[in-house]
Structure 1
Amino acid sequence: MAERTERLDRGRDARQEWLLLGVNGLFVGANALSSTFVNVYLWKLKNDLTMIGWFAVVHQIVMALTFWLAGKWVKEGNKLGALRLGIVVAAVFYALVLLLGPQAVRYIPLLGCVQGISSGLFWLAFNIFYFEATAPDSRDRFNGRAGLLGSGSNMIAPWLSGIVIARLGGTVGYRLIFAISLGIFVAGVLLSFFLKRRPKLGRYDWSLGLRKLREKNNPWRTVSLAMIAQGLREGIFGFMVMLLVYIATGSELRLGNFSLITSAVGLVSFWFIGRMYKPVYRKWGMFAGALMISLAVVPLFWKVDYFTLLVFGIATSMFMPLYSIPVVSFVFDMIGRDKASAERRVESVIFRELGLNLGRFAGTIVFIAVVSYRPSPLAVNLLLLGFGSSPLLVWWLLRDKLEAPAGPSPLRRSERAGLLSRRSRLPSPS
């Protein structure tokens, strides 16, 4: 009887995993269709790297605040509502870009705030759903599938966008692509109605993260430093690489082709590595990935043109899964290392995201300072190499912890199901 119950739970979890992958795929796909070209669109309106940097900073600050403030709603209220609202606000962002048109450069703080709210709501709720729908033995596989889906979206969507924008010319192509993204976000909201409602998770602890930092031997102190280091790279690379491709070529079509090629490599890499990755491979697999994506920046010191950027992009896409799959899986294994930790998963996810956003903010602020006072190609390349090597620091901080399970006894599916069923007795499930 117990085995049958566990098989049923496993089947339900598998369906929820695929539904969650579908919602994530639509959200990522809609953003891939348009977000690649948002910064290019703003750049064409006003050739100003500092403006692009401040747009990213506002986004990062508001995203972090949204994570922290929305934590109470997600834990004590309706996490499914937060997921849907995040998708809706993303649609509002692109609607605003459409409405503002050439005046968008005058409303950078507003646009950054709206995009930050969307990202904060969606990714907070998604990460909680992800934790509850997966187990330690399926987490690497789920991350591989999510990476595969993301690579597929980033392969096809920007390529199609580049073709449309290049053929229609002017701002007409941009407006059509932004409008299509609105439709995909609507599809994402509709699909989310098939996700299972999750129970409330108790009272939200506003200060749990601070208490973790104050405890001398708490492993989250090291993990928080690792997340900050990881964010250093993401803060700059999140917007700068595609912008460099456009500046080097002046062509949206070639930018779309760049995305097609690099994402195709990433798709194959995520498929292969996601299938074979096991916790025992994490330590040295992550080191190899971190080393190679750091070295990928070196060709840009020779010359920043389409060829060298393509070499950088292909190398990064090929080796990124070796780095990203274990680091994400490890942190979520830590969150679920025992029942007490799993019950505080909302606070732990927020703690992780605050570290990432602090790193993104720091990296972007340094970028703004450098391009404001010394906007030379060498200075930009040194920034890319310095912050692009931060995955090695992440590996060094986590290296000892990657050798063993993230906690004394990670929750099995049956234990997690029991924990959730007890929680489901609380009134008004979310």
Structure 2
Amino acid sequence: MHSDSSKQLFSPGWGRWKKGGYFRGSDWERGRSGGKKREQTAALTGQSRLLLTVNGLFAVGNALSGTFVNVYLWKARQDFALLGWFTLIHHLTMAFTFWLAGKWVKEHNKMNCLRAGVAVSALFYLVVLWLGAAAVDYFPLLGIIQGMSSGFFWIAFNVVYFEVTSPANRDKFNGWAGLLGSLAGMIAPWVSGFLIVRMEAASGYRLIFTMSLVIFLIGVVCSFFLKKRKSVGRYEWFLTLRCLKRAETPWRTVGLALVAQGMREGVFGFMIALMVYIATGTEMKIGNFSLITSAVALFSFMIVGRLLKPSHRKWAMFAGAFVMVAVIVPFFWRVNYATLLVFGVGVALFTPLYTIPMTSSVFDLIGQFEESVKKREEYIVMRELGLNAGRMLGTLIFTFVVMRTTSPTAINWLLLGIGSSPLLAWFFMRRQLGQLSLSEKAAAAAKKAAR
């Protein structure tokens, strides 16, 4: 971002695409024309709905088996540190893949990058099936493959998401994405747990890994219906460093918020399902846990996605972050299925209040100035580097602690410390969340002038 970009009053609403090119609307243009230009609709476009479909298939494939990969490794070797290293390798590879694939997405075919992410996810489960019980001995290889799949998919997905949405419908898209993810998390793990318990364990795992493989291949096919998008400009490898050197950039505090957000994701992403398994000793309970919590999350995402307004983001995110921390406290009394369920339901109810404002505000910041819109790929890479830095930091802290002690008290304090990072994310984002968008300012000015 150039040094004078903060002075611009140009806020492109990069909405729908037309014949491979951009259709640009802006609050600045509407202001100059006296508000005569039609406001962008908040409805989702056909391409955004198709992108949601591909994302939904990706979520289903991961929910079917991803929930149980760490349990699969745990059953082979009961070692928290091994799972920590596996997760760390995954996030490190994901960050590096994001940075490298940014050039592919910026200068070449971003849709092929999206397809590569889904295809490599299929490869991951193919390798797990091939290795069988020996998979635990190859956890670094599995972490690398899984990290590559996540990197390829999410860099392309986030760029296309930015291009097919606008500030007018971004919260709605995120609400639908969360709803579909919750639906996948509600049904798929329950089906997986049921199959594993009803079949011989090894056969059950082979079946669900095969099902994920097939779903990812279907996702690749569906992705061909997404329009090929025009590549513009050259990829700037070190924009993140150049941007963060600027003292006045909001990306310094936003970057710290992303690191804080990632800290919790890196550890809780694999620990909660594992804790349910350790507390109950059966995969079916993991399926039941996911069924209940994802059903609650589905309802919550549906309501929040429809009702949340940009002006409410600041305190909505604080409420979500506060409850996400508070529900960890019951673990200090006892970690059993009941307290885990209290945690899961509480998080499911309030996570949308935390994640929707966080995600929408960061992408709105990317779309705030013409210069950052032109370099959207680099800014999305910067966003993901911040998230993955946090995930690696959280996972490193977790791994070093469990290498020294695995006492329940130490684990609980560790989870509370890392799990409190959403409040830190809110602290760094509060000013950004409290700012009205240019479209809201324009609307307020027009309303005032009309009086």
Q: TM-score, normalised by structure 2?
A: 0.88
Alignment partner of 1:206 is 2:245: no
Q: Please, which of 384, 406, 409 is the counterpart of residue 415 of structure 2?
A: 384
Task: Tell whether the 8 Å contact from 1:337 to 1:409 is kept in structure 2 after alignment.
Answer: no
Between the aligned partners of 1:326 and 1:194, the Cα distance in structure 2 is: 30
Give the counterpart letter for 2:310 in structure 1. P
Q: Please, which of 73, 79, 91 is the counterpart of residue 122 of structure 2?
A: 91
Between the aligned partners of 2:413 and 2:439, the Cα distance in structure 1 is: 43
Task: Tell whether the 8 Å contact from 2:182 to 2:297 is kept in structure 1 after alignment.
Answer: yes
Corresponding residue for 2:187? 156
Secondary structure of the residue that 2:403 maps to in structure 1?
helix
Secondary structure of the residue that 1:400 maps to in structure 2?
helix
Aligned pairs for 1:110-129 (under 5 A) are 110-129=141-160
Between the aligned partners of 1:104 and 1:236, the Cα distance in structure 2 is: 21
Give the counterpart letter for 2:213 in structure 1. L
Between the aligned partners of 1:164 and 1:405, the Cα distance in structure 2 is: 49
Alignment partner of 1:317 is 2:348: yes
Between the aligned partners of 1:297 and 1:11, the Cα distance in structure 2 is: 37
Between the aligned partners of 1:354 and 1:401, the Cα distance in structure 2 is: 19
Corresponding residue for 1:144? 175
Between the aligned partners of 2:41 and 2:114, the Cα distance in structure 1 is: 23
Alpha-carbon shift at residue 12 of structure 1 (Å): 10
Query: Deviations along 1:85-126, whole A, 9 cap, x unmatched?
Result: 000000000000000001101101100000000000000000
Q: Please, which of 270, 277, 281 is the counterpart of residue 250 of structure 1?
A: 281
Corresponding residue for 1:371? 402
Task: Tell whether the 8 Å contact from 2:260 to 2:425 is kept in structure 1 after alignment.
Answer: yes
Alpha-carbon shift at residue 402 of structure 1 (Å): 1.0
Corresponding residue for 1:402? 433
Give the counterpart letter for 1:37 in structure 2. F
The two structures, once aligned, show a CA RMSD in angstroms of 1.8
Between the aligned partners of 1:40 and 1:26, the Cα distance in structure 2 is: 22
Identity %: 57
Task: Tell whether the 8 Å contact from 2:125 to 2:213 is kept in structure 1 after alignment.
Answer: yes
Alignment partner of 1:183 is 2:217: no
Give the counterpart letter for 1:177 in structure 2. I
Alpha-carbon shift at residue 409 of structure 1 (Å): 6.5
Tell me: CA distance 1:274–1:11, structure 2 relative to 1, closer, same or farther (3 Å).
Answer: closer
Tell me: CA distance 1:143–1:13, structure 2 relative to 1, closer, same or farther (3 Å).
Answer: closer
Alpha-carbon shift at residue 403 of structure 1 (Å): 1.4
Alpha-carbon shift at residue 404 of structure 1 (Å): 1.4
Q: TM-score, normalised by structure 1?
A: 0.92
Secondary structure of the residue that 1:204 maps to in structure 2?
coil
Corresponding residue for 2:252? 221
Aligned pairs for 1:6-405 (under 5 A) are 14-405=45-436
Between the aligned partners of 1:291 and 1:12, the Cα distance in structure 2 is: 31
More helix by share: 1
Task: Tell whether the 8 Å contact from 1:338 to 1:409 is kept in structure 2 after alignment.
Answer: no
Alpha-carbon shift at residue 234 of structure 1 (Å): 0.6
* Number of residue pairs matched by the alignment: 407
Between the aligned partners of 1:82 and 1:11, the Cα distance in structure 2 is: 28
Alpha-carbon shift at residue 170 of structure 1 (Å): 2.1
Give the counterpart letter for 2:246 in structure 1. E
Query: Deviations along 1:358-412, whole A, 9 cap, x unmatched?
Result: 1110110110111110111111111111111111111111112211135x569x9
